[in-house]
Amino acid sequence: MSKKLFLILLFSIFGVIKAYSAPQPPQSTQINKLEPIERKDRILILTPHPDDEAIGCAGIIQEALKVGAKVQIVYLTNGDHNQIAFIVYEKRLTLRKTEFIHMGEVRRKEAITAMKLLGLNEKNLIFLGYPDFGTFTIFSQYWQTQRPFKSLLTRLSSVPYKENLSFGAPYIGESILSDLKKVLSSFKPTKIFISHPADVNVDHKAFYLFLRIALGDLEKELPRPKIYPYLIHHVGWPLPRRYHPELSLEPPEELLNTEINWMEFKLGPEQLKKKYKAILCYKSQTESSAFYLLSFARQNELFGDYPEIELEKQVSSKEKTVSFFGFSHMFADSSIIATLGDLNNFIKDRGRVSYAVADNFLFIRIEKPEALKHRFNTQLYLFGYSYKTPFAQMPKIRIITKHNKFRIFDGRKMIKPEGVYLEFNANVSILKVPLQILGEPNFILTSIKTHRAVLPFDTMGFCRIYIK
């Protein structure tokens, strides 16, 4: 497509979307009941750090055991990077790597104690021991490399915990993916509870991403399990802080009125008491953060995910324009129409993100929030998955835009591929990315951060785009 034709296409898009993107009045978010857990279920809980499983899923664990369902918990890290909690708990300051490994051992033992209180045995717990605060960097940058990721605090590049399943495994993406696939193949879960793709903690995002890749690899081997993400970290949430067993847990305001299908599990009085006690088993964390952790000991637990997006490949010309995700319109002489529904309407002063695939390009359209129209920067992750190519060999694309300029990275290397184009005006930014540089994917895991100058403004959690 020539640049001139591309500009014509963009102006056509602006006109269409302007006509169909009038803001809708806020709708109250409906929270549905989580479907019952049954005896036949095999419940897998994937937790980034020791304590996340108690905070997000203690009620689910108790309910599963109550009805006789099988339960297994997998810990991605031992939580050895929380130096502030370490200082408060140990009442001393140290920077020796052995002390951080010691903290990881402490947290592993706390997890065993907490889960025994809820009714699980140590044999139901699997600790992987990958680097706390390092797993997202591994996912996005460390594949097919002889130089594994090196942890900032422990200064190690392989799992140091002898009791862990992955003892000695190098800090690379293949190690984590392999371990997770082994667990999935062995346990064969029917329901998986996993950290949320909109969680602001990088390890929480990473575990969700690794799960999606593992399930893609095992799609023909395993029956498709149901996925229930649980949210732990979100700015200013939950409120009020401290222990309030009389209150219910509500979704963060920024995630209300989105396409996330929120569900809740109601805890009984005894289940709530045990959840409270299980959280307190993590003394290394509660001595500094009890006011926050106990905020989750409420009458319910929340779960929900972004919906899958399916994009039809379109063909554009002067007569056939692109229909974006979120908008449906019959153009003159157009034979390919995408009727897709809305992904995510940001509330208040937030923009709208839309997607389309046309002419073997992915188009990402970002409507600028009013506050950012003159200082609008973004960081976009595009992780393509193909059933034909091992994920380790797929590009791991990150695109940074600053005003009308951009830089592209594949893992740790800056690249300059042909065909990427950014259209930038006062109200809208549209990025055109060839599917070829994404590895000709079957689906894409993508997330967008917006910035006001250098300060973060908003983040849209990872969602899955399927290309039909």
Q: What is the three-class DSSP state of 97?
A: helix
Does any domain span residue 9?
no
Is residue 330 located within the same domain as residue 458? yes
Is residue 322 located within the same domain as residue 440? yes
Query: Which tokens in the block code for residue 278?
Result: 């299980």
Does any domain span residue 194?
yes
Q: What is the pLDDT of residue 414?
A: 97
Q: What is the pLDDT of residue 88?
A: 75
Q: Is the torsion defined by CA of 283, 81, 233, 122 positive or negative? A: negative
Is residue 185 located within the same domain as residue 252? yes
Is residue 199 located within the same domain as residue 225? yes
Is residue 156 located within the same domain as residue 242? yes
Q: What is the pLDDT of residue 373?
A: 62
Does any domain span residue 400?
yes
State how far the Cα of 70 lies from the Cα of 463, in Å rounded to an integer.
29
CB 56 within 8 A of CB 233: no
For residue 453, the enclosing domain spans: 307-467
Domain end point (choices 237, 271, 303): 303
Does any domain span residue 3?
no
State how far the Cα of 437 lies from the Cα of 94, in Å rounded to an integer.
45
Query: Which tokens in the block code for residue 423?
Result: 């259209």
Q: What is the pLDDT of residue 31?
A: 93
Which CATH number covers residue 463?
A: 2.60.40.10
Phi/psi at 155 (nearest 5 deg)?
A: 60, 30
Is residue 84 located within the same domain as residue 217? yes
Q: What is the pLDDT of residue 289?
A: 92
The residue whose two tokens read 């169909």 is: 20
Query: Which tokens in the block code for residue 115?
Result: 């889960």
**Cβ atoms < 10 Å from Cβ of 280:** 18
Query: Which tokens in the block code for residue 339?
Result: 């009727």
Torsion of CA 28, 29, 35, 41, to 10 degrees: 180
Domain end point (choices 276, 303, 330): 303
The residue whose two tokens read 């299980």 is: 278
Q: What is the pLDDT of residue 153?
A: 82
Alpha helices in 200-314 (DSSP H): 202-217, 269-280, 283-293
Taking phi first (over 0 means left), then psi (-120 to 50 degrees means alpha), and beta for anything else, what does residue 220 get? alpha
Is residue 256 located within the same domain as residue 376? no
- pTM (2 decimals)? 0.87
Which CATH number covers residue 75?
A: 3.40.50.10320
- Identify the burial level of 302 via C-beta atoms within 10 angstroms of its C-beta, where 0-12 means exposed, 13-18 middle and 19 or more buried: buried
Does any domain span residue 8?
no
Render each residue's pLDDT in the chain as its tens digit; 468 residues: 444 434 333 333 333 222 222 233 334 468 999 999 999 999 999 999 999 999 999 999 999 999 999 999 999 999 998 767 777 767 676 667 788 899 999 999 999 999 999 999 999 999 999 999 999 999 999 999 999 999 988 899 999 999 999 999 999 999 999 999 999 999 999 999 999 999 999 999 999 999 999 999 999 999 999 999 999 999 999 999 999 999 999 999 988 877 899 999 999 999 999 999 999 999 999 999 999 999 999 999 999 999 999 998 887 655 455 555 543 322 222 222 232 233 232 222 234 788 999 889 999 988 877 766 667 789 999 999 999 999 999 999 999 998 888 999 999 999 999 999 998 877 888 899 999 999 999 999 999 988 776 566 677 899 999 998
Is residue 328 located within the same domain as residue 297? no
Is residue 113 located within the same domain as residue 150? yes
Does any domain span residue 241?
yes
Phi/psi at 7 (nearest 5 deg)?
A: -65, -40
Domain end point (choices 273, 303, 333): 303
Is residue 255 located within the same domain as residue 313? no
For the chain, the domain total comes to: 2
Q: What is the pLDDT of residue 76?
A: 98
Does any domain span residue 13?
no
Q: What is the pLDDT of residue 322?
A: 58
Is residue 419 located within the same domain as residue 437? yes
State how far the Cα of 236 lies from the Cα of 4, in Å rounded to an integer.
46
Does any domain span residue 341?
yes
Is residue 133 located within the same domain as residue 201? yes
DSSP string, 235-262: TTBSSS-S--TTSPP---GGGTTSS---
Q: What is the pLDDT of residue 194?
A: 98
